[in-house]
Amino acid sequence: MNPEEFRKAAHELVDWIVDHQARIPELPVQSQVRPGDVAAQLPREAPVTPEAFPAVLGDLDRIVVPGITHTQHPRYFGWFPANATLSSVLGDIAASGLSALGITWQSAPALTEVEEVVVEWLRELTGLPSSWRGVIQDSASTSCLVSLLAARERATGYSETRGGLQAEPAPLIVYTTEHAHSSVVKAVALAGFGKDNLRVVETDPWTRAMVPEALARAIAADVAAGHRPTAVVATLGSTGTTAMDPIAEIVPIAAGHGVWVHVDAAMAGSALLLPEMRWMIDGIEGVDSLSWNPHKWLGTVFDCALLYVADPEHLVRVMSSNPSYLRSTVDGEVTQYRDWGIPLGRRFRALKLWFQLRLDGVQAIQDRLRRDLANARWLAEEVGSTPEWRLLAPVDLQTVCLRHEPADITDPGALDAHTLAWADEVNSSGAALVTPSTLDGRWFVRVSIGAESTSQGDVAAVWKILRATAEGLGRG
């Protein structure tokens, strides 16, 4: 969808929203549909080619609106007031349109600082102590969990850094590699396993992939010590170098000990839309769960992360809660997604996926992913064939890990300083943005290709910029 198509469609959607809000008082408060009615009206497969916007908008009226209980209705006296003031809807639209990435202060300073200011406004307005500080979460469920985790750690003197909550001598053990995402260590701590019970399994020095024999040895050692191997977190497309842990070899090792295999394919998952990339998930039949984020490379506006599980009944048993005020006569016939994760309340995130797949069509998305893969291969070849530049990892996806290694800089510390200096010069200029990262304790630069608007020309241009900046400083 191009900007002018968006403009036209968004204006129509705005008018639709206002008209929809105006007719809410005439609609039944409680949705009258029966279990399965909505799903039955949708095709079983995503469209390959784009649909026209009027068809999608029409389906909001035909399929979606009858399937909503209207908490904005003047005669809504259910659960709790769940309003959506039009002023806040505007702010939400602005947030979608800006699509800021809130991962660090630097990634969107305004996202952090506007949040600091407005939570302070509301602290003042609600009479909370002036020394307190606030943050926005998705739900009170998450807030409560976060607070209890904080309480747990205060009571135990930060047990997460030691043995977690666990009773020796038979702790539960989790396995991953040093290239796994930081959220794995965090999850191990938050879930009470304790960081001491996370095993960092050896990886191949070039591919950075988990060495299956090392996993087998680690599990065997734990079993011998009376510990309980519990989970392996395998990564497809590590954040640093897009390393690919070999699922097909990990699964049989884990299966022998009843170990849960979770696959973190947060960024790489989008590539699975390309049949030629499915080699990544060889062995998937023996995996227990896999997550990937359409809000990354696929391009769904943040936030939208998919979690798939082999055994949903088990997940629900762990996550469910069933208070009387949420019980209904259809409980056995429907999916209650509140029991599939942490928050009770959930946004209608599926709409953005539904709109994207219908309005863009699968084929155009696949074409874009293939373009990015080709651009990454092109850059990798350039780096590999240019003197004093080095490729630091295989380029299986869209990320190129590189370093400028001038012959006259032989000291590793000096090379680190050189890397950080030229990367900072590139980034501060505003002309392009690349990410410095470390591998074996040394800095290098990641060039992650895949912005929707990035053409081959942009990749050629950034390569010119990197060379000019680094080689210029190298001679300085």
Q: Is 378 in the site for a second copy (CB under 8 A)?
A: no
275-334 residues near a second copy, rule: CB under 8 A: 275, 278, 281, 284-285, 288-310, 312, 314-315, 317-319, 321-326, 328-330, 334
Q: Which of 273, 339, 376, 350 is nearest to 63 (CA)?
A: 350
Q: Which of 71, 202, 394, 473 binds a second copy (CB under 8 A)?
A: 71
At its nearest, how many Å lie between a second copy and the CB of residue 370? Answer: 14
Q: Which of 52, 55, 118, 255 binds a second copy (CB under 8 A)?
A: 118
User: Which string of b and e fits 306-324 if b means at least 16 CB within 10 Å?
Assistant: beebeeeeebbeeeeeeee
156-175 residues near a second copy, rule: CB under 8 A: 156, 158, 160, 164-168, 172, 174
Residue 188 or 211: the one with the smaller Cβ distance to a second copy is 188
At its nearest, how many Å lie between a second copy and the CB of residue 197? Answer: 10
Residue 262 or 475: the one with the smaller Cβ distance to a second copy is 262
Distance CA 452, CA 81 (A): 39
Size of site (CB under 8 A) for a second copy: 268
381-410 residues near a second copy, rule: CB under 8 A: 398
Beta strands 228-235; 172-177: pairing state: parallel
Q: Is 258 in the site for a second copy (CB under 8 A)?
A: yes
Distance CA 291, CA 237 (A): 12
Q: Is 245 in the site for a second copy (CB under 8 A)?
A: no
Q: Is 52 in the site for a second copy (CB under 8 A)?
A: no
181-220 residues near a second copy, rule: CB under 8 A: 181-193
Residue 216 or 352: the one with the smaller Cβ distance to a second copy is 352
**Contact criterion met (CB below 8 Å) for 280 and 234:** no
For 240, 296, 337, the CA distances from 267, given in Å and listed in that order, are 11, 6, 24
72-111 residues near a second copy, rule: CB under 8 A: 72-111
Instruction: Tokens for 28, please give them.
Output: 């039944």
At its nearest, how many Å lie between a second copy and the CB of residue 212? Answer: 19
User: Per-residue x/- mask for a second copy, residues 433 to 452, rule CB under 8 A?
Assistant: xxxxxx----x--xxxxxxx
Q: Is 372 in the site for a second copy (CB under 8 A)?
A: yes
**Contact criterion met (CB below 8 Å) for 282 and 248:** yes
Beta strands 399-404; 198-201: pairing state: unpaired
Beta strands 198-201; 172-177: pairing state: parallel
Residue 196's Cα: distance from chain center in Å?
26
Distance CA 218, CA 175 (A): 8
Q: Is 127 in the site for a second copy (CB under 8 A)?
A: yes
DSSP state of 237: S
Q: Which of 195, 200, 354, 374 binds a second copy (CB under 8 A)?
A: 354
Q: Is 64 in the site for a second copy (CB under 8 A)?
A: yes
At its nearest, how many Å lie between a second copy and the CB of residue 414? Answer: 19
For 219, 252, 316, 464, the CA distances from 213, given in Å and listed in that order, are 10, 11, 34, 42
Q: Is 223 in the site for a second copy (CB under 8 A)?
A: no
Distance CA 471, CA 404 (A): 8
For 21, 128, 135, 161, 408, the CA distances from 151, given in Å and listed in that order, are 43, 20, 17, 15, 53
Q: Is 68 in the site for a second copy (CB under 8 A)?
A: yes
Q: Is 341 in the site for a second copy (CB under 8 A)?
A: yes
At its nearest, how many Å lie between a second copy and the CB of residue 408? Answer: 26
Q: Which of 393, 392, 373 is nearest to 456 (CA)?
A: 373
At its nearest, how many Å lie between a second copy and the CB of residue 407? Answer: 26
Q: Is 4 in the site for a second copy (CB under 8 A)?
A: yes
5-44 residues near a second copy, rule: CB under 8 A: 5-7, 9-11, 13-18, 20-22, 24-25, 27-33, 35-39, 42, 44
At its nearest, how many Å lie between a second copy and the CB of residue 405? Answer: 19
Q: How many CB atoms lie within 10 A of CB 378?
A: 17
Distance CA 118, CA 349 (A): 25
